[in-house]
Amino acid sequence: MMLSLILCLLSFSVRAVTLTKYLSTPQGFYQQTFELNQGKAIYHKTSNLFDPSPGDLRSGELITLADTSEPYKKLTLLDEQLKKVDQTLKDFENTDLKKIAGSGNHKVVIKLGEYVIPQESKYYQELDNQFRALQALKWKLDKGFELSTDLSEVSVFENGKLKKKESFPKSSYCHSSSSECTYFGGGKIRVNPKLL
């Protein structure tokens, strides 16, 4: 009885931490989010704008088997630091991190949990390093789509398995003015303009 109560209390103390990089522009919204929990990580990818190399043409939910416990610990500690900073600002400056950060429109920002961190913040570089380290892990497409490198085919995945593969009509889903392709609202994928 006592052991089950302790396990129940421990499960409530473990929380997910999210790290998001996004850009809001008049042309659209670009975003990638890592959701980390102890033992589980999900990469929500609706754009490849922030990828280190432009060759990843996937959009959707990706999963990894890599150990993400270290980034989870670091991000949880940073989130706690930001909570303290936010509370101090509320208590003594009559403001908070949200007011200081602004809307983030037209600039790339990082969001840790509920806190928007602009590029000017002293926390930005550390969070960006964590973001890039997570991107560098091996990720498998669990749910979403992937375009072939020549943009001739699209593969649709569900539950980590290929559901269908079909020809990709570039003229219907790609826009040469922005060098972007979409597929049934699954995200904006930037592509080589020479292929359009």
**Predicted confidence (pLDDT) per residue in 166-195, tens digit:** 999 999 999 888 899 988 777 889 998 888
Q: Is residue 5, in this structure, part of any structural domain at all?
A: no
| Predicted local distance difference test score (pLDDT) of residue 74 | 94
Model pLDDT, residue 113: 93
End-to-end CA separation in angstroms for the chain: 64
Residue whose entry in the numeric block shows the structure tokens 């983030």: 104
Q: Which of 76, 48, 41 is nearest to 62 (CA)?
A: 41
Q: In this structure, is residue 9 part of a structural domain?
A: no
Evaluate whether residue 80 is within a structural domain. yes
Q: With beta carbons less than 8 A apart as the criterion, state whether 148 and 188 touch.
A: no
pLDDT of residue 12: 41
Does 182 reside within a domain? yes
Domain for residue 10, yes or no?
Answer: no
Please tell me the total count of domains within the chain.
Answer: 1
What burial letters (b/e) apply to 145-166, b meaning 16+ CB within 10 Å?
bbbeeebeebbbbeeeeeeeee
Residues of the chain with pLDDT under 70: 1-14, 96-105
Q: Determine, yes or no, domain membership for 83.
A: yes
- Tokens standing for residue 93: 């400056």
**Residue 102: domain span:** 15-195
Interatomic CA distance for residues 97 and 112, integer angstroms: 12
| Structure tokens belonging to residue 108 | 């790339």
pLDDT of residue 4: 47
pTM value is 0.85
Distance in angstroms (rounded) separating the CA atoms of residues 15 and 37: 6
Q: Is residue 6 part of a domain?
A: no
Geometric angle at alpha carbon 181, from 132 and 169, rounded to 5°: 140
- On whether residue 30 sits in a domain, the answer given is yes
Amino acid 105: pLDDT? 62
